[in-house]
Structure 1
Amino acid sequence: MRDARMPIGRRERAKQHKRERIMAAARELFAKRGVGGVTTQEVADRADVAIGTLYLYATTKAELLIMVQNQKFAAAIDTGLAAAAVTAERGPLEGVIALIRPVVACVREQVENGRTYLHELVFGDPSEPYRREGLALSARLEDGIARLLSRDERIDAGDAATLARVITAIIHISTTATVYLHRSDDAVLSDIREQVQATLSLHGNPA
């Protein structure tokens, strides 16, 4: 029985190794030239795999980008949640800003990649595995915002969920709209802060 399992284990390790090479190649090329300046053939060449092999892991360049960005997005959310945990006592606004600060930096690290990533999550096929993973990360971010808002006794769970949805929409627009492209991360975050503060104030919860 053990011998029967061994080839499967080796195949799985080989597949994982190829996936890691493809991810590393895509991450490096997208960071340098943006998703629009890279072809799938270039990623395959950099990863030292055949183009047909690459398509076993991602059938389009958009899927490659989502693979890469999902990792970055997940790490940014983890960092934000940790930061929010130590600032939430300063009020819902500060907790939310601490949470979204690394998310904003992640999306804007390479602006074309970030815009394309969010666009693909919103308008792409939600049943595609990588998009499904990205949408789950977006839901995790929204849930994290809602939980921070719920710490304020003036905000019930239902309102917190609604406000979190509004705030994630603010983040999406502020990090992808053309008018904001040439602003610094700090300027974008400051604008988001003002919008979130106004949203909370309109709800009757001054931050």
Structure 2
Amino acid sequence: MNHRFQCRCGALSGHLSQPHRALRGVCYCKDCRAYAHHLGVAAWTHDMLGGAEFVAAQAEHVSFTSGIEHLACLSLTDKGLLRWYANCCNTPICNTARNWKVPYVGLIGACLKTDPVAFERSFPRLQMRVNTRSARQAPPPMRWSTVVSLARLMSRVMLSSINERYRQTPFFDQGGAPVVAVRVLAAACRTGAHGSG
């Protein structure tokens, strides 16, 4: 079974295979909020506590089916996560590590929930909350579930690195370079975005 994702305007779309194997969580980090504020989309990507829902998967399970020309990439710093979005409407799509040998993909809930019923059918219930110290208020605790879920995720990522399945990715070419140019935020823009969050 595949789960479809798309940007807000529908120009870019794709699917995640084996969604039942993905891990579902909420991230409360200040960087995710700053990124959303920079794109001007925080009002519909983050909840009242400053958390953004995401689904953790492996890059080999992500495919784009249309609008790949709208895929863009931004990073808050020259060493930070690669944050992929649709430049047609600034919809956040996912985050990846800079190193393609770490084939983790954090798909953002905003692009996965075009059909909320299908979303709940495709993915497990919420399994983890991360970076909770940066939340605007303390979210409900999920400490043990979070630890178990992160351990499962890391074991899968490590296996993909060992068996070279990391090469099956739509985000990097076969030399390990991002498929689009990465734009790094200027310091002033980064400070302003963090101040908004």
TM-score, reference length from structure 1: 0.22
Q: Larger % of strand: which?
A: 2
Q: Select the structure with the greater relative contact order (CA < 8 A; seq sep ≥ 6).
A: 2
Answer with 1 or 2: which has the greater Rg: 1
- Greater percentage in helix: 1
